[in-house]
A and B are shown apart, each in its own frame.
Chain A
Amino acid sequence: MSILVGEKTRVIVQGITGRDGSFHSKAMLDYGTKVVAGATPGKGGTECVGVPVFDSVHEARKATGANTSVAYVPAGFAADAVLEAFDAGIELVVCITEGIPTSEVIRIYGKMKALGVRMIGPNCPGVISPGKCKVGIMPGHIHSPGNIGVVSRSGTLTYEVVNQLTSAGLGQSTCIGIGGDPIIGTNFIDALTLFEADPETKAVVLIGEIGGTDEEEAAEFVKSEISKPVVGFIAGQTAPPGKRMGHAGAIVSGGTGTAREKIDAFKKAGIAVADIPSHISKLVGELIKAA
């Protein structure tokens, strides 16, 4: 097993004909992901990287029976793309796009909850279950199949950590980049819930950053609901308050959302906190051995 994506995942790529869309569609196909269709308005009937392209997600889904979509669509069109995928009956939409207005994401979130479907992101690298399926932009080769679940608000920092886990012989069940925006479809608690229920996952790595209170809520949740060992890391200890650190969600405002508060919350909840990224794999190894 694994969570969110696996052997049964059949993917539609929204925006497949763009520079990033086609590049990463090919990378997903090379990894073994079942990319069954692309959707780009006005490009229906064509082919891209060997995949049939449709004008709409509805047509693409009807023709291929896809259950997942991934959106590589410019920010101005991304909210529409996600809502179109929901309307077409897609259960899991991975939204890679960065820069969607928060008000749009708030609307999407409401629709997502009402329909009982799931969005990962926006502004995220996607999800990968190593050896089975990759839906997103992460470099496939750094991952290896195994028992560690990884969930993170960051993209490249996650690659950094995964690369070290793999080098240390610690494979991953699933790695989820939940996204760096202030409002996201799937949060730490959602991911932790899925990892707890997944028999293949033996330990979870949780990579947070400054801004908001998702990590603090996750810490409470770990304390009361999670039986598996959890290792945590928080980025942004040197970030000045009131400044947005790249991610729209990475900002300390009104004295809340600091790295210190999050690290303290993790420690209080019994999460093993790594001081620097390269200590994560060591801590995971120790906890796995002890368990």
Chain B
Amino acid sequence: MNIHEYQAKEIFARYGIPVPSGQVATSAAEAKTIASELGKPVVVKAQVHVGGRGKAGGIKFGTTPAEAEKAASQVLGMRIKGLTVEKVLVTTSIDVATESYLGLVVDRRAKRPVFMASPAGGVDIEEVARTTPEKIFKTHVDPCMGLLPYQSRFLASKLEEDPKLRGQIASIAHKLWQVFWEMDCSLAEINPLVKTKDGQIIALDAKINLDDNALDRHPGLAAMREGESENDRMAREMGLSYVKLDGSIGCCVNGAGLAMATMDLIKHYGSEPANFLDIGGSSSPEKVLTAMRIICSDPGVKAILFNIFGGITRCDDVATGIVAALKEIDVKVPIVIRLTGTNEEKAREILSKANLKTTTLMDEGVRQVLRMAQEGVS
């Protein structure tokens, strides 16, 4: 789960990482009030879950509260990479002397967190890694020891000459590690970390991605979820993995790998998937019902393919769910059901009683659903 900059900065502030003062606003009037309370020139920043806000015009300056109001009215409601800006962060404008980067991610190869620092701040760190990898300095953190003081000093030494400022950076690095580890982050990043013209070190931006698997033990963080679509919410609450795509073949599959392979096969045979949907293991009939509701709500769907290979998922549970769904939802597009594996005979019995035909081979299922999508018969 990704959270907004203003939420990440709230967390930073709680841990003692210096951030510019500011508040979030949902209206231009509110932005004006915040700006006049701050009593200084401000920056109005769009709060959306995508990078490149500045280039898209989502970051504007205002020297007076009236200008801040105008800036907010321009940014609020703006579309950035398909997302509508519903909130802006209004913060004091900072006189920047230099910009650098400080960030933590899970290094999948090393199987532990890696702390990265770079004097090339303010730009996309992946771009830095591609073009000038020598400008990124790394140290891996032992999860049992935590970040050690010498590691913080090492990182700070790569960003700053002045011993006093190095101390400030090392302290921020230590706090960033605490945020990362205690909050179960998959990413915690300050880009840019800036030195102000009056010699202070401040986190000008803040980015935190949280480990979805750990949200249960951080109810406060789970409550920070924003900007979720209705279908995404329904899927999440039912324990389904759903990603909306742009094609015409709705997919309902058990298992992420098989779901991806199903999408790929749809493409291979000349069409495009409308979604990724993994109903997961131990699929109850309710999950299948919710999955059908979500898929059927997508007007782009021309036909639906069930691809079930039973393991921990029992085919009869899925069959019961399909039958229940067809009773509750007016499904207007053809459905192809491919199933095999645990309890498949029971499933076929349930489905044949409801006059639903099944197939056992994946390629056959995909070819059938593409044919039916073209013909539009159910």
Contacts and interface: CB of A to CB of B under 8 A. Distances in A.
Interface of A: 19-20, 24, 75-76, 96, 98-103, 106-107, 109-110, 125, 137-139, 142, 152-160, 163, 180, 182-183, 207, 209-210, 212-214, 217, 233, 235-240, 243-250, 254-255, 275-278
A58 B142 CA distance: 28
B191 interface: no
Which has the most chain A C-beta neighbours within 10 Å: B129, B241, B256, B268?
A: B256
Contact of B311 (A156, A233, A247): A156
Interface string B125-162: 01001000000000000111000000000000000000
12 contacts: A101-B184, A101-B214, A106-B112, A154-B258, A157-B255, A157-B257, A159-B341, A163-B340, A183-B106, A235-B261, A245-B241, A246-B276
A141 to B, nearest CB: 9
Nearest to B257: A154
A19 B312 CA distance: 11
B281 A182 contact: no
B101 to A, nearest CB: 14
B267 A137 contact: no
A214 to B, nearest CB: 8
Interface of B: 106, 108-109, 111-113, 126, 129, 142-144, 181, 184, 186, 211-214, 216-217, 241, 243, 245, 253-261, 263-268, 272-273, 276, 278, 280-282, 309-313, 340-342, 361-363
A248 B1 CA distance: 11
A31 B212 CA distance: 35
Given A137-B281, A207-B257, A239-B263, A101 B341 contact: no
Contacts of B266: 238
Nearest to A237: B264
- The A interface is mostly helix, strand or loop, or mixed, namely loop
Contacts of B143: 103, 106-107, 110
Contacts of A160: 258, 261, 309, 362
Contact of A157 (B142, B261, B268, B340): B261
Given A236-B264, A243-B243, 19 more contacts: A20-B282, A101-B184, A102-B186, A103-B143, A103-B181, A107-B144, A137-B312, A155-B258, A155-B312, A156-B311, A157-B261, A213-B108, A238-B266, A245-B256, A245-B260, A246-B256, A246-B260, A277-B261, A278-B362
Contacts of B340: 163
Contacts of A155: 255, 257-258, 281, 311-312
Contacts, number: 179
A246 B254 CA distance: 10
Nearest to B130: A255
A283 to B, nearest CB: 15
Contact of B256 (A99, A142, A163, A250): A250
A13 B376 CA distance: 49
